[in-house]
Amino acid sequence: MPILTKYPPPQKIKYKVDIKKDEKGRASKNTSLFLFVLVLLFVLPITSEAILLDQQNILIDNAIIGSEIILPINITNNQNVELVNVSLEGLQFTTMNQVSLILPNQSINTYLKVKPTSLVSSTFYGKVYGFFLLDILRDSKSFEINLTDLSYTPGEIWIKEGDSIVFYNRGTVAHSVISSNFNSVIPVNNTYTYTFNTIKDMEYFDLNTAMGGIIHVINKSSLERVRNPSYDTDISITLTSKLADTNLSARTYDPSLTIEAYKTGESVVEIVNIGNKTAEDIFFEMQWTSFQENHFSLVPNERKLIKFIISPQLQSTPETNRSYNLSLTITSKNANQIRLNVLVSIPHKEILQNETSNYYLGLLNQILEFCKQFPVACAEGPNGTQVIYKEKNYSIDLTYSDFIKLQQDVRSVAASQERTENKLQEGTDILLVQLQDLTKKYSNLNTSLSVFYEEKQSEKKWNIFKWVILVVVLFVLLITTSIGFLLYRKNKSLLGQ
């Protein structure tokens, strides 16, 4: 729909463009595209800066994420024609209310709204553009309105004086179009064409269905909106954003721990967000320490207990029997940094590892090499001599001869450690051999026990069988004896008679 304004332009620029029509009198798509390109190239006597901004390169530091910044901006129409629908495009995190109209050579104040949604530090680019109102004369055009059994489409249309409309009945019954200017009944699949030469708003309807529409006829040379991208004005914003600041507090439940070398100790730190914004990416860090949770967020008034485990990393005996004041550092992307002290006491413990012996040997070799080159600095020198080796101070409480003895002692410890390891390896090998032998013996014993068990089972069965035979024999003997005794008594009784 063309934009109408009550302000007459100071200068009207008229252009006559011939439009090629198809067999139905409608402008072809290629012709419309040609018209648009032609308008863009030749339509305005415009200077290189058609839209002026009072600020084109804007710098914003420390913008709070999620908060809106309002920036006033002045826009000037630097041409002798009206500028409408002035808008902003392509500028990230930024919006501008559309300006409906700027009169020729006039300015208007509006606002940019900048609202970053993430952490950024970059420059963003966009354009301020608008449409110029121009008087463009053109040949008459033809438009089509489709009549169906359900609706007339489009129901509302804007045309220019001299244009025509083709009413096409695509329904299954006859339809009519009746208005103050025309009256026609259109059979199925037939058309009715009417040319509009009067500027007015015209309603029409179907007598049978009460369907219809409205046609707006406007001046043939009415103003058209035209945009030429070459006349858009560049605008940029260099934006640095940050999270909204908040405050944290923290404390440890056990700030003093006693931990043996090569063992661990545990404690808990409580952290609370006492501010009114979410604390992002909270991170704990402390020497020798691992934390149950790290890199997390806290909403306002939220508290959290975080367990941490301290594992002292010691390399030598002198590092034991002393206390270490560790610094627990708590940081966040948008909160204050917190430092807490944790005192760790390490009881005395002998540390005799090959790594430690090698460390001592290396250090002694360095100092001895220095003493060979500068014997006055340490050979036969008094106790407490300071030797500088490669810009490092080594406190020496020994003479040169003591150095030699200490070197021999350390080597002896290393050799002893090596012998111990060899003996342990020998013992391990012997134990493995004995274990294999025991395994073999156990296997043999298990086999023997199986054979013995089978033999015992067989023997048990034989014994049972023998007892059964014995019982049967005894029973037979008992019966025989009883019968013989009875026969004896009977015979004796017969003889007595």
Note the pLDDT tens digit of each residue in 427-437: 788 888 888 88
Residue 29 has pLDDT above 50, yes or no: no
Which are the contacts of 336, defined by CB distance < 8 A and separation ≥ 6? Answer: 247, 248
Please report the pLDDT score of residue 368 as a whole number: 65
The per-residue pLDDT of the chain, averaged, comes to 80
The predicted structure's pLDDT at residue 404 = 65
Task: Please report, for residues 65, 270, 274, 278, 469, the alpha-carbon distance to residue 301 in angstroms, rounded to integers and kept in the order given.
Answer: 20, 13, 5, 9, 96
* CATH number attached to the domain at 248-346: 2.60.40.10
Segment 366-382 mean pLDDT: 59
Q: Are 13 and 134 in contact (CB under 8 A)?
A: yes
pLDDT band with cut points at 50, 70 and 90 for residue 154: very high
CA distance 212 to 189: 18
Domain ranges of the chain: 1-242, 248-346, 356-476
Q: Which two three-digit tokens encode residue 438?
A: 């025991």
The CATH fold of domain 1-242: Immunoglobulin-like (2.60.40)
Nearest to 378, CA basis, from 360, 396, 405: 396
Cis peptide before 154 (omega within 30 of 0): yes
Q: Are 220 and 137 in contact (CB under 8 A)?
A: yes
Distance, in Å, from the CA atom of 497 to the CA atom of 491, rounded to the nearest integer, reads 10
pLDDT digits (tens, 9 = 90+) for 283-293: 999 999 989 89
Pairs from 364-367 (Cβ < 8 Å, separation ≥ 24): 364/403, 364/406, 364/407, 364/410, 365/407, 366/390, 367/394, 367/396, 367/403
Min mean pLDDT across 314-323, 325-334, 344-353 is at 344-353
The pLDDT tens digits for 205-249 are 998 888 999 999 988 776 678 888 888 999 999 999 988 999 999
Identify whether the C-beta of residue 381 lies closer than 8 Å to the C-beta of residue 399: yes
Burial of 480 (0-12, 13-18, 19+ CB in 10 A): exposed
**Radius of gyration of the chain from its Cα atoms, rounded to whole angstroms:** 54
43 in Cβ contact with 13 (< 8 Å): yes
Same fold, 1-242 and 248-346: yes
Q: Pull the structure tokens for residue 420.
A: 């111990």
* pTM confidence score: 0.44
Q: Which amino acid is at 214?
A: I
pLDDT band at 256 (very low <50, low <70, confident <90, very high): very high
Would you state the pLDDT for residue 360? Answer: 56
